[in-house]
Every structure is written in C-alpha cells, then in structure tokens.
Structure 1
Amino acid sequence: MNTPTSTQSAKLSIFQRSTSQALELVKSRVWIWPLIAVGLIMVMAFFAQYMVEKQLKREIEDQLTVVLNTVKEGQTRWFADQKKEVLAVASDTRLVAPVSRLSEILANSDDPFVLREEEGQKQIQDVLEPYDDVFEFIAYNVISPEGQVLASNDSYLIGLKVPSYEERPFKRVLNGEVVITHPFRSELPLPDLGKESDPTTRRSQEIMCAAAPIRKADGEIIAVLSMRLDPQDVFCRFLDLAQVGESGETYAFNDEGVMLSSSRFDEELIGMGLLPDQPQVSSMLTLEIRDPGVNMTTGGRPKLKRSEQPLTQMAQSAISRESGVNVEGYSDYRGVPVVGAWMWIEEYDYGLTTELDRDEAYRSLIMLRWIFRGLIGLILVTSVILIIATHFVRKLQKSMAQVVTEFQEMGQYQVMEKIGQGGMGAVYKAQHSLMRRPTAIKTLDPDKAGAEAMARFEREVQLTCRLNHPNTIGIYDYGRTPKGMFYYAMEYIEGITLEDLVKRYGALPEGRVIYLMSQVCGSLLEAHSIGLIHRDIKPANVMVTHRGGQPDMVKVLDFGLVKNLKSADQANLTQEQSILGTPLYMAPEEIESSEHADQRADIYALGAVIYYLLTGRPPFTGTSVSEIIMHQLHTLPDPPSEVSLNKISSEMDKLVLSCLDKNPEKRPESVKELVRSMRRSPAVEAWGYNQAEKWWSENVVFEQLDETDFQQESAQTREVAQTVINYQNRETEPDHLNKT
C-alpha cells in the first residue's frame, strides 16, 4: 500500500517529467513553423470566408433587385393596359347622349335620386355591360364634374355625392388625364363581391378605379367614367407570384405607410395582435408598416403603442422617394430582421418592396461559417498534435536507428543506401561484407505484397539464376531477413536506361540502335533457348553502361514477368482473363490471351523498343491505357523514317514494321533472325567500339544521374511499369516491384 509520502513523490516525479518534456519542446522550437503555418491558414480561411460572404451578399442583392424590377414592370404594364381599356370605353360615342341628358335632369331637379328611374340608365348600361365581359371591370360609375353619381350598375349609388371628390385623382380626369388608382377604401358603402354575398349588406370596401373623361364631339368633358377593379384579383396577383422561399414577400404601400396589398403572414399577424381577429380580415389598407422594436414572432412585446412606433427603415426611405437595397438587415413590421429592396413608383404614387427573412437569406452562409470554424478548430488541434508528434518523432529516431541497423544486415550483404522505392518493396545499394563488391539488393515486404507477388518475385530469382549471358543482369544470392523480408542480390550497374538515354539525348542513330539491340537480342536468345520469354521488354528495362572497358554495354533487367513455356503451372501465377506487361510495348496476342504468347511477343516488344530508339517515341501513344491497347490491337504504326528526324534506311523500316505486325506469323521467327536482319542495314558499320568510347568520354552520364534524378525518373517509369489489366473492363493496376 502506498504511503502519502510515496504518492506525493510519484506525483512530483510525474510533474517534473511533464515539465521537463514541455521545456524540451519549447527549446526545440519545433512549434515555430507549424504555428506560422496555422497563422497563414487562418488568415487564408478568414479571407476566403470574407470573399464568400461578399459574393453571397452581391447575389442576394441581385436577386432582390431582379424580383422587385420584375414586379414593377408587370404592374406598370398592367396599369398601362387598364388605362387604354378605360379610355376606349369612355370614348364610346353612344355614351354622350344619355350622359348629357342625365346631366341636364340633375341640373334642373332638386332631387338627384330621380336619375335612378331615367331611361338613360338603361341606355348607358346597354353600352357598358358588354365591356365588363371583355375587360376586368366589375362595376361602373358615371360621375358628374361636381362629384354626383349620374349612372351606375349599382342603383343605390345613383344620385349620391362622392365624398372628398376634389381630393381624389378624379380631379385629374376632369383635366383630361386617364387615371388608375392604387387600392383605397371606398367612402361610399358597397356590397361584397361574390355569388354567396348578401347584396343588402354594404360596407366600405378595398377597391381600385380606372377613370377616363367622357367627352362631347367638340372635346368638352361632361363626366367621368370610373370602372371599379378588384385589387385582390388584379393588383395583388403580381405580388403573390413574387413570394420567394419560405419567408419572402413583395408588397405595396402608400405614403402614409399603410399596406396596399395582403401580407403572406396574415394568420400570424392576428396572433400577434397586429390585425383584429375578425372574419375576412386582411392586412390590405389595415396594417401600418411600423417597426415594433422587438421580434414579435418569438414572443417579444413592443414597449410603444403601434401609433407611436416609427415606420420601418425601408418605408421611411421609400416614402422619401428613395430607392434602395439593404442586405445587412433591418426590422420589418413584425420586428423580424429581413433583407430587402424597395422603390417608389411616382406615376401611381405608391411604394413597392420585396423582403426576405435574413436567417433564410443567409442560411447557407451560417452553415459555411460553422464549417470554417470547425476547420479552424481542426487545424488548431491537428497542429498541436503535429507539434507534439514531431517532438516525439525526434525521440523515436534513435530507436528507429536500431531498426535500420537490423535492415542493414541481409545475409552477407551490408546495405549502404536506398536507390529505389516501389509500392511493395525497395532497391538498395549494398556491398558484400567480405568481398566488398557493389551489389544491388531488391526486397519485397510480405506485409504489403500478396501471395501472387511473392511467388512472382521468387520465380524471377530462380529463373534469372539460370541465365548466364553477359548482357543479362546477374543474380548473386537470395534469402530472407529475420523479419521475413524476402530479398535477392544482383549486379549493381552504374549506367542509364534506354528510356532515360532517349529522354536526355534524343533519338539514336540507326547504327547505335543496331549495336545496342544486338546485345539485347543476345540476352533474349539465351532465355528463349531454354523456353523462357521475358514479356516485359521495354526501354526502362534495358540499361546501358560503360563497364570493364566496354562502352555501350547492355544489361537486360527485370525478369519478373518471365514465362516458362515448359511449365504447366504458369497460369497459376496470373489472374484469369488478365494480361501482364507494359501496354506501350505489348504484343496484340498478349493483350487478347496471355496464355498463348510465345517468343514472338518478345520480338514485337523488341520492334517497339527499336521504334522508340529511332524516333524518340513509342509506336502508339494515348491518354489512357485503354486507348493504347486499342491502337496495339487495330492500328498500323507509321514507318520510323516518316517520324524520325534522323536518316533511317528502308531495310530498317521494313524490319521494324515486320516486328510490329499484328500477325505473329509474319514477324521474324526468332531473335537470331532479327539480328541477322538488322545486320543487313547499311548503317551496321556506322557504330562500334570507337564511336561508343568517344560518346561516353564526351557525356558524363553518371554525374548527371544524381539521387534526385533517379527518384524522379523512377517515379515516372513506375507509372507505365508492369500493369495487370483486366481485359473485360479495361481496369489497370500498376505493380511497382519490377523496377531495378
């Protein structure tokens, strides 16, 4: 059992150790660069957020402006149409006589109601009723210049005087204008509209009027024709169509800040007490557009009476004859923050606005802000973890050194440096511990490679060991490390692959191609003689070196795909209905069925390599493996002489094209025949020992191939390395382990 003293000592020890590690972390300064990176990322994140917000506000502003202008355009066109229609009706000459008679009777009588029984009423009705069917008018009134109703389809109104007549827009009509009013509340009692309404029940109604002067032939104005319109049916139609999203609405209002249309929130307004709870109640001509100072939709109650509350920011600006857009937000008549655009239509004396709840308008921005905050938090957490991890990685480097030491002993070989890395293994430069001979060691990690790759790797060693040709890479030894890492040791060659040779120095002269490829053929001749085909001949698998006093000496590498024509178990090492090799240099029969490929597949690949050396590019190119395969199967290559800038003999042209023939029967029967055919070229004597020695003395190849170049070129080569392609679906899967 721990005593209090021992417990305190343990806690003190932990505290001291933690403090020591923290101080060590601070002193190491590993946190400086991550901190700078975090700062830069945060600045970039905030700048990106600012730009996104700015763009979103611009889009919202454009959307509001477009909606507002569209509604305004629709309403003004409709107003113009109504003016034309009422003017056409008022210009009907059949109205002049009965209206004149009714005016005379009214002037000579003390009782204006005698007009109700006059024959002129029937005559006017017969003229105007057909127009009701054509246009959107629901009632008509003929009014004298003094404001007395001379005729109407509502007999109750005949003889009545229109209150405040001089203040109404009808005075403008007496001056010869055609006028259409915005919605207003009638001062004379009118019956409700609709078939089910009681005609005896009358009340003040929300109406609109289109009015035009009735003139005599000499142009004298004798009366005003006023046609009644239903604002709910026509005026509000455009506004209702402009409702955006869940909360957007477009509405009109007069210069007193009273709404001239219906709100989409009438039911909510009743619950808030802004509208009376009565049947058929509407916000039209009832609701004042005032700012309550609180959000009433969330239960807030204003401190001021409705009459004392100021008009909303939008209403004040519009009534001042200002147009504007506000995407930052202001309170509407419910106290809800909204964004909006507004204008004042001077010709018809009313304001128009479109508004959208700010929360809905910026819903995506709110989500984006949370995402940004989450990313910044993640970056901060990741940075802290990275700093701590970096600190501990340094401490682990010592223990990692022990692992490296374990790796450095592979049998009798000591690893010096890594010279290549694949997906499932690596290639190291090493030396024999006793003989000190430079060696290349190729490894395969069993944890990363599957059983098939392991089998192919081991088969490569076993088959390559049977080859003794000086132009074939030599195998010294193979085995496993204590950790199960499979490896084999082979010749270490300082040189350059044919692929890199062409990339660095361009297409080769025909004589040098013959000189180099004759050695490649010599290597393959031995393999073919014992029933082996390489199946992956390509420029990246052929290395040129200056070795043992011999310039332009060739070494054929990578027998990882070699096929034993005498083995019955060969099919077990490849996938069913699949092909192995590099598509740029693969024979058509290998693509169609790798099971039936023989040594003539290598001859096809040799022809493709010769083509590459002569022209600087493969016979076929494409943007995808599938495209290259289709060329290999169906396209005839251009003769090398038509592609290369170098001079190429007709004999070489014919030989290359025969090697690349789609029909294996038409290719050279063997590499021996291929060599004989190459030697018939007139350029066969153009390149030899002296020319090769001169070239190597003028081109310091090894100094150019530093480690960085090797890694870059190795990565490029791996992209077109051994490929397993399912012929049915054209999928490709690179195997990076066939690189030496």
Structure 2
Amino acid sequence: MPNSTRSRLQTILDWLRGRSARRVLIGTVLVSILIAVALLGLLSSFRSSMHHLTRQSVRSILNSNLVAFETWRNDCETGVKQWIEDETRRTLAVDILDRYSRIRNLAPDLLQMDPEIQALGQSLSEENETSEPTLATDRIGWAIIDVQSRVIASDHDELLCTPLDLPPNATKQIIARKTIVTRPFESVVLKPDQKRLENSQVLAESSQAIVAALAPIDDGSRVFGAVAWLLDPRDGFSRMLSVSDDARMSETYAFDRRGVMLSESHYRDQLRAIGLINPSPTSSCILHLEVRDPGVDLTEVGKLTKAVLGQPLTFMADQATRGATGDNVVGYRDYRGVEVVGAWRWLPEDGFGVTTEIETATIYRPLRNLRWLVYALIGFLAAANVGFAGLVFWCDRLTRRLQPEHIVRRLGRYSLGRMIGRGAMGSVYSGAHEMLKREVAIKVLERDELTTTMAKRFAREVQLTARLRHPNTIAIYDYGRTDDGTFFYVMEYLEGISLQELIDDYGRQPADRVIAILLQICGSLAEAHYRGIVHRDIKPANVFLTAQAGVFDMVKVLDFGLVKDISQNTVEITQSESITGTPMYMSPESVRDPSSADARSDLYAVGAVGYALLTGGTMFDSGPSVDICLKQLNEEPMRPSDRIGVPLADDLQNVILSCLRKDAAQRPVSMDELADTLRHCRDHNGWSSVDAMRWWTDVFDGERVDHRKLTSKLTPSEG
C-alpha cells in the first residue's frame, strides 16, 4: 500500500480511536433513536387515522345496505297487506280458513277442487301481473296458511296440507296482527321452478330457501291465518343487503343466531373450490354455510383439510350472535380464513345479524407499504450505526493491519498479542517477553479506563496475588506502569478451560474428579488464608483447569481482584454497602455485609463450586440478583442427589452441604480441615492421572495443546 494512502487511512483510524469519534458515535446513535421514534410515531399516527377512516367506511356501507334492505322489506309488507285488504279476497280467505282449518286430515285433492280457492288463486295471479316489477321478480309463489302454519291454499300444489316451516315467533306475530317479512328458512317440500331457474341466476339449491312476507287474515275479531308471499332470498333479500357493496372490496351478508349464513356470498366460486359448500355449480351459501373461523387462510391452503363445523364462530359472529353491535378495524379471520375488518349489527326483532367486511390486504395496503418503508429506514439507520460502531471499536485491529508486521504494541519488555479476555478490571492479552520469548498473559488497565479507585484495586490485586506461591494459584511474573499511564501486570499463560466452561460443555462431573479439583482449590486458598488474604469471588469462572508440564487436571485459582487483606487493619476499597462477589456463590454473611467476609466465606463459595460440579447446575434456580441474595439468606439448598434425581455418595454430599450452612460457625474451621474431610471420602483417589490424561486427549475438544509434549514426562515411569 502506498505510504500516502496508508497515511490517510492512519489519520482516519487515529480519529476513530479518539474520544471525539466516540462522542460522534453517541450523538449519531441518539439522533438515530430520535428519528426511529419519530418514524414509529408517524406510523402509529397513520395507523390510527387508517383505523378511523376504515371504521367510518364499513359503518357507512353497512348503514346504507340496511336502509336499502328496510325499504325493500317495507315494500314487501305494503304489497302483501294491500292484497289482503281487498274486501273480496279477505272474505274468500276467511271463508276458506274457517271451513278447512278445523279439519285435521285434509286431502290436497279436496282443496284443489274448491271453487273459492280457485277464485282466490285467479285474483292473486291478476294482482301479480299488475304489481311492482321488483316484487313480482322476487315472488316465487303464494300461500294461505292457518294459525298452525298449515298451507290451506297455494299456487304450489306440493305445499298443500303441509306446515310451512316458518322461523320461531312468526306465528305469534301473525296472531298479534303484525305484517312481517321473515328471515330465510328452508322448505324441503317446495321444489324449484325449472323454467324460472333456466332464465335467471337463481341456483337450484338456493330455491329450497324461501322468505315469506306475511299479512294476517282476520274478520275484525279473530285471526284465522295469514297470506304469504313466497320470495326467493337470492333476489331482493340478498341484493338489498349488498346494494352499496363494491364486489372487489366489501361484502355484506346476514346470519342467524347459530352463525348460519342467510344471504348469498360474493365468493361462491371460491367457496366451491375450497370445499366449504357443495362443488356443484348450482350450490348456494344460503342456509348451507356457517360463519366459522377455519383457523387458516383457506384461499392459500387451496382445499379444506379439516372440518370447520367444530371451529368457533368468527370474532364478528361470536360478538353479534350475543346481541352486540360493533366493529373491528384491527383484523380478524372471516369464514374463509382471510383477515378482514368489519362492522356488524344485530337486529333483535328480526332474529338475525348483518355485517359488512373488507379484506385487510385491500383496505390497509397503503399502511402496509408505509410500515415496510419505516422498517427499512430504521433498519438502514441501525445498520449504519452498527457499521460506524464497528469502525470505532475495531479500529485497533485495522490499525495493526495497516502497520508493518514487525511493529506491535509493547508494554515494558513485553509485546502484546490478541485479546483473550475482558472484565471490569481491565483486559487480558496474550504476550511474550522480548528476551525470554516466554508466552505470558498480560492484564492491562488502559489509561482511558483509569480511575483512582480502579488503580488502587488493580495494584492491590497484583501485590497480594504476588505474595502467593502455591502451584494451584496463578503465578505473577511482573508489574508495571508505562509512561502514558497504562497499568499492567504479567502472569503465566494457561491453556484449558474454566470450571464454568467444563460444566456448561461437559455437564456434571464424577465424584472422584470433583474431590480431586476441590482439593487443589483448598490448597490454593489455604495458603491465601494463611497469609491473611480472602479471595471473596470464588466461582467456577474464576477456577481454571489446564494440562501442562505433564500434569493433567491442574487447577489454577484466578482473579484476585476482590481480595481482602485481613492480616492488618487496612481501609476497605470496596464500600460495605455494595455487593462484592457473585450472588450465586456468595455466603449469607457476605450478602448482609460485604465487609464482614472472611475465610469462612471462601469455604461457602468452595462448597457452592463443588455443588455445581457434582450436579451440573447451581444450587438455586437462576433469577435476578436480589432474588438469589434472598435465597442465600433464607433457603437451604436441596441435597445434590435430590436436585438431579441420581444417587450420589452421601459422604461427599455431606461435606459439600457442611460448607453451605447459613451459620458460618457450623462450617469447617479451615481449608485444611475441609481438605482432610475430602480425603476421607470414599471416592478419594478414584480419579487417577491416567483418567485425567485420557479425558484431555480423548474427550476435551477445546483448543488443543501438544499432547506428545504433555505425555513425554510420563513415559519413563510407565516403563
């Protein structure tokens, strides 16, 4: 790369590494958040406006259709009422009903030959020719019925002497001298007029459903029955309910208390293809389709895969059949499973409901487009901020790539390699001594992270740890501070895994291995306690397991960043009211008062580590730190064998639980006593060096070390 280009890139990277770049990043993130909030607010406002307009739209269509339907119904009631008000017809009808309504077993032949019935039929035929064209088209017949709904006279001979299956309460309204138009009901006797069927769009199956316009027949003192105009619901009834519908957007239909559809659907062909109604080209929805939610979009599935009968009513039908009037502009599935919005009204006097529905994909297309645009803009802002943050936080790596390979960061006599860990008290890098070329780990407290308190803690950690010589304690080699104010200390470099990784990746460990690990932890802490040092943060993540120098399962106790020197009266750097340690491994007394922690607190933590190794989990369920602290104070841990449901050696369980007693005075007196108790357990010495070597060579699948070098020292003794 040319030097000029390298120089310009280096200038950019230097700026990215500076605090000004971080301030710009924070400002950019805040501005992006404000823009995202504004965009989401705009989307929410637009959504609310769309919902309001949609609510008005569906209500308006529903009301318009109901007005048209009411006009049609009034015309039907007026027509049938005027017909029977003719004195000649009324007299004939009263005489016919008075003569035949008392006879239980009527014969159709007797009625067909009655001259008065023939005269009445002739009068109705003449009226039909002169009546309003719309009503004449709707009408498919007439009938005279008694108060038991039995047909006494009709232009459909097949109806004679049979009861007309009127909806409930229709007969009561007739007796109350009310002229009414019933909702559609099915007549299994009435057959379709084939000639009329061929010349219209009326379907054969729908011709079995009829609507009756009824006017009472009385003589002023007694109701004898009613005259019925028989109407086809596919005509006026369905047409008037959808007069304001746009077939491409909205659909209005009627349904009864059971959710059965009473008017025709716009989607007949689609419903036949799906299988919701008979696939015959003459099939209809009226009285043959229930308004139920199929649970899936059947227009996408293509075919009905399960019975819809057992499915619940749609949201709209469920609300309406309870007598409610309302709307839903958020969305629900209709009888096809398509998401729709709608408004509905229950008509209690008529015993059915009417709804207008519009597909959300149609009505909310602008909202959907705007939503995707807003999400795309927010995604772009997020990606831009992530990219900028990546440049700021990873510019150190880019800087190293731009520099010549032989130029590396140095701290004293040590060169830094890759970062291998990061915590609250600094970052840890791999490194090497410039003369010895020995690989080491270097903990660094950067200048821009430096505070007075952190500097004191950092110094205390290295100074107290350096006093320890036990082979199971991490070894400290060097400590220093650079001219620019960066603190660092050098320690031995370890390859292996922490006990936390061991538990997470390999699960609970056998009792003999747990004893072998705990004994080494006890040895490290026994020396620390002898020198007046309390660790205060023993946990699986701070205990490392390695294989080096021909020794397998070698334990190293790490991170003495929270150590407490109890060998002299020193001022505590950690405030007494703050939490010191990890709640899941803190003793009850440390929870109550962190400054009261002593060697017995480390004993409690060792017991918690042993519990985790033996069970493969913590002694309490995970949760907020406050909840865990309360459990440490008030709850006894379950016996390990009970927690995992597997038999375990009682002696080892008893040792671990003795460390976890709430009263510090009831725990082992010291680490030496704990170690001695562990050595008396049945499984002590069960985990041999050969077992450890086989685990590291055959089971461990982490970062490998050279096992030939590790095992070379064992070869002579094996011989």
TM-score, structure 1 as length reference: 0.47
Larger radius of gyration: 1
TM-score normalised over the length of structure 2: 0.48
